[in-house]
């Protein structure tokens, strides 16, 4: 249904000059599987995460006849690997990829590495959900006693992060602010006719949804993004405005199930 709707929307191109952008959360990571706060830790994809990129995202993009001139990722491996697998399975391995630290996942501070249920048992579910979904709720800063502190701080993939901008923790709102400059750059490329895929992280996709759709601070707290489900936007290249709403590509029941899993604290 979603794919048929997407293909019908192509008729709008005969009425105005438009271009599409695809937003995508990476495949399942090891910390997703273990239900841990991940943030800036460079957790790899699981075998299932690789399968999602190859068997969920790629077929949906191919069936919708989407193609790309450039792919944006973060510098984290789970983002880059997902993009690599998707392009390879689309026979588009030659498409250039731009890795930008500003598209890294939200930094979860001293929650990094802990199971969500473990933190909920200590602080209560309401507090954990506030840290996960609240717009201005900031987790405690990561400190040197956290086993991932030095792993993250000494990781050379972050060498391009300017002095003074390396986060110790972030709220959703802080993540929204961090991605705004790179989003403006990407949007300009889209309006210039570049076909862009953004393959990033859960909170970063939510931050981008806020910028793209103009979602309120209150409404974005209820948005949940499942792994490897392409979210397609169409822009009027003259005005920069959205044409219609977002279209999620894939089986609606599968998307509903995976979205509910993301929303829950879990075991």
In a domain, 1, yes or no: no
Among 105, 170, 201, 234, the active-site one is: 105
Please tell me which of 1-15, 202-216, 248-262 the model is most confident about, judged by mean pLDDT.
202-216
In a domain, 2, yes or no: no
In a domain, 6, yes or no: no
Known catalytic membership, residue 50: no
The domain in which residue 184 lies consists of 16-263
State the Cα–Cα distance between residues 28 and 49, nearest whole angstrom.
Answer: 4
In a domain, 7, yes or no: no
In a domain, 9, yes or no: no
pLDDT tier at 15, thresholds 50, 70, 90: low
Among 26, 170, 201, 234, the active-site one is: 26
pLDDT in tens, 79-115: 999 999 999 999 999 999 999 999 999 999 999 999 9
- The CATH number assigned to the domain holding 249 equals 3.40.50.1240
Q: Please tell me the pTM assigned to this model.
A: 0.92
In a domain, 3, yes or no: no
Name the binding residues for substrate: 25-32, 78, 105-108, 116, 132-133
Known catalytic membership, residue 41: no
In a domain, 24, yes or no: yes
* Residue 72 main-chain phi, psi, to 5 deg: -100, 135
In a domain, 190, yes or no: yes
Two tokens, residue 174: 């802080």
If one counts the domains in the chain, the total is: 1
């Amino acid at each position: 249904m979603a794919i048929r709707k997407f293909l019908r929307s192509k008729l709008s191109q005969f009425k105005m000059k438009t271009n599409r952008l695809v937003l995508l959360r990476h495949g399942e990571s090891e910390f997703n599987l273990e239900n841990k706060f991940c943030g800036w830790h460079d957790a790899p994809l699981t075998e299932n995460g690789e399968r999602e990129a190859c068997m969920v995202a790629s077929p949906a993009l191919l069936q919708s006849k989407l193609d790309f001139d450039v792919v944006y990722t973060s510098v984290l491996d789970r983002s880059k690997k997902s993009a690599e697998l998707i392009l390879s399975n689309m026979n588009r391995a030659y498409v250039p990829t731009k890795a930008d630290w500003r598209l890294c996942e939200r930094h979860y501070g001293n929650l990094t590495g802990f199971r969500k249920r473990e933190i909920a048992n200590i602080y209560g579910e309401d507090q954990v959900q506030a840290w996960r979904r609240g717009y201005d709720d900031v987790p405690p800063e990561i400190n040197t006693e956290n086993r991932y502190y030095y792993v993250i701080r000494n990781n050379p993939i972050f060498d391009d992060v300017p002095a003074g901008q390396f986060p110790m923790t972030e709220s959703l709102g802080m993540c929204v602010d961090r991605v705004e400059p790179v989003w403006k750059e990407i949007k300009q490329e889209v309006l210039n006719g570049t076909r862009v895929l953004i393959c990033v992280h859960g909170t970063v996709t939510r931050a981008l949804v806020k910028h793209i759709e103009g979602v309120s601070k209150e409404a974005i707290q209820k948005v949940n993004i499942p792994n490897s489900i392409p979210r397609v936007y169409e822009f009027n290249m003259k005005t920069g405005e959205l044409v219609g709403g977002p279209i999620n590509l894939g089986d609606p029941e599968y998307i509903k199930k995976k979205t509910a899993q993301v929303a829950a604290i879990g075991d």
